[in-house]
A and B are shown apart, each in its own frame.
Chain A
Amino acid sequence: MFKQYRRKVAIISTGIVLYEGLLTWVYPVIAKNPAISDIAQSLPSAVKTVFGVPAKARTDTFEAFISGQFFARIWVMLMAIYGIETANALLGRMVEDGSIAFLLSTPVSRSELISTQTAVLISTNAILVAAMIGGVYFGTFCAEIDIEHGRYVDLALLGLSFFSLIEIYSLFFSAWFAEEERALTYAMGLTLTFYGLDIVGGLSHKCSWLKNLSLFQWFQPQEVLEGTTDPLGPIIGFSVASVALWYFTKKVFEAKDLPI
């Protein structure tokens, strides 16, 4: 099953590494020009929120630069879309088009099958996250930028647990509906709702309570990279939620009527 996703994972990983390489390559030029930092500093907090930069965060560090340019928005959306699409392809699509019938006609239980699909999902997620670290380490080494390496590992673990939760709830919708389109719509809709709540909640104080309804409030790359927040709590929270939801997904799939 993993074999099927090798090419896709390799392409996305390469893209991540190249993009990070590009960012680390241009950063020294930007860092030497204080005007750019002044412009970033002068942006209204609402605009910063849209780009995933915390309102009171610094704008003159490499961490601020790479968070704003990649981790806070592009990386999140890339990984979320990959996770949702892959979870759906591994279960919802296979049930709907019937290709799971051959697999389920072997002496492998539904529980073992969904465990395998989850392992493919999480391991490809881990590879993409590892590519993120590899790209940053390689780029910063080549461009001679000093970074706190440990904090990138923290961010990777936070990303892994966060994206895993998105993947598991996408898998849950696939098991629940046993139908590709509805599962995809719900998973995508829920993720965009969380994302939208995070953005709208950051635009004004009046709406800030909306942030509390979003999973994204626990995923703040720049704060993790600058060491102003401890990601351990969210990592544990996302992981526990993923395991609990996965267990429930397994139970739903075991009892589901499959029209295959």
Chain B
Amino acid sequence: MIEVKELTKIYPEGRGIRDVSFQVNPGTAFGFLGPNGAGKTTTIRLFMGFLRPDSGRVTINEYDCWRDKTEVKKIVSYLPGELHFIENLTGVDFLDLIAGMHGDHCLHIKKYREYYVKAFDLDLKILIRKMSKGMKQKLGIIATLMLDASVLIFDEPTSGLDPLMQKVFIELILEEKQKGKTLFMSSHQFAEIERTCEQAGIIRDGKLLAVQSISLLREAEHQTFEIEVESETDAQLLKHSQLNITPLQERCFVIRIAGELETLWLALAKVRVKRFKQRSLELEEAFMDFYR
């Protein structure tokens, strides 16, 4: 279990996180969302014992992440947000190095990694400095997953991956979840949080605004549509309906609906629709409320 209690870390220039508390239960996945500079990476650095908290504490399976950082790393594998490697090594050299640094597990790790190398279709013989950003991202993900750790921490794992590989990543994460692993993932990709996590925390300006269950969010989810109608009469009809309507242009509206869509269909049946578009993902809209 990951337990964060009143965690505060302020950098000299004033940024950081303040009084953050939440917990991630064993075998569950927690998505950590927030705009750039909100404090997501700082929180993860505190998990990994790279930073010392000013106050409060974070524990993983009862181990204090600062005091017992070496113990913590026996059960955690981590993918940094900004990937930098020892560039003179090949992919194989790098994975061997990381496996070797895990001592007794080394052989198990080397066996295990082949599965992920195949899944991501990565040529490990290439020098890391000659790899593209996407290839480096794949290498980082392989280095994280091959450890078969019980707690996985990802800092924006899919940035740099093409959509196909993002899909592969999500499938692999769901497999890891089935094995009972605990997952903590920061992301800007609402879709991947929605698909992989049970809970989501939203952080802004270093403060945790909310921790929500994804299933509860789904129940209360809003859907947003962008609709353009043919004529002024149609526009007037829509305006006088019971829908939550925000005009965009003369005959173009944004309609936001919670729950069932029946009222929308009834209103649209009375007008001639020129263009109909679902504007954004449901959860994204729910979270965007916190950002605004």
Contact = CB atoms under 8 A, between A and B. Distances in A.
Contacts of B77: 105
A102 B143 contact: yes
A51 B198 CA distance: 72
Given A104-B48, A259-B45, A260-B50, A99 B86 contact: yes
B85 A102 contact: yes
Contacts of A94: 86
B101 A97 contact: no
Contacts of B94: 102
B52 interface: yes
Contacts of A1: 86
Interface string B78-115: 10101111111100011001100111000000000000
A107 B73 CA distance: 5
Contacts of B102: 106-107
Interface in A71-122: 94, 97-99, 101-109
A257 interface: yes
B86 A4 contact: yes
A258 interface: yes
Kindly name the residue among A99, A102, A104 whose own CB sees the greatest number of chain B CB atoms within 10 A. Answer: A102
A255 interface: yes
Contact of B84 (A98, A104, A107, A108): A98
B51 interface: yes
Contacts of B89: 3-4
B189 interface: no
A255 B52 contact: yes
B108 to A, nearest CB: 14
B203 interface: no
Contacts of B78: 101, 105
Given A103-B101, A107-B101, A257-B50, A98 B73 contact: no
B195 interface: no
Contacts of A101: 48, 50, 78, 80, 84
Interface in B47-65: 48-52
B74 A107 contact: yes
A108 B51 contact: no
B146 interface: no
Nearest to B143: A102
B193 interface: no
Contact of A106 (B84, B86, B88, B101): B101
B85 A99 contact: yes
A97 B83 CA distance: 9
B25 interface: no
Given A4-B89, A102-B85, A103-B101, A258 B80 contact: no
Contact of B50 (A97, A99, A255, A258): A258
B246 interface: no
A174 to B, nearest CB: 16
B88 A98 contact: no
B178 to A, nearest CB: 24
Contacts of A99: 84-87
Contacts of A259: 45, 50-51
Nearest to B52: A257
Nearest to A113: B101
A97 B84 contact: yes
A98 B86 contact: no
Contact of B101 (A4, A108, A255): A108
Interface in B11-55: 45, 48-52
Contact of A98 (B52, B69, B80, B98): B80
Contacts of B80: 98, 101-102, 105, 260
Contacts of A257: 50-52
Contacts of B140: 102
Contacts of B88: 4
B76 interface: yes
A41 B80 CA distance: 63
A108 B70 contact: yes
21 contacts: A1-B86, A3-B89, A3-B93, A98-B83, A99-B86, A99-B87, A101-B80, A102-B143, A103-B97, A103-B101, A105-B48, A105-B78, A106-B98, A106-B101, A106-B102, A107-B73, A107-B102, A109-B69, A109-B70, A257-B51, A259-B51
Q: Would you list the 10 A-B pairs with minimal beta carbon distance, nearest first?
A: A106-B101, A99-B84, A105-B78, A98-B84, A101-B80, A258-B50, A107-B74, A107-B73, A97-B84, A109-B70
Given A4-B88, A260-B45, 15 more contacts: A4-B89, A98-B82, A98-B83, A99-B87, A102-B140, A104-B49, A105-B76, A106-B73, A107-B71, A107-B102, A107-B103, A108-B101, A255-B52, A259-B45, A260-B50
Interface of B: 45, 48-52, 69-71, 73-74, 76-78, 80, 82-89, 93-94, 97-98, 101-103, 140, 143
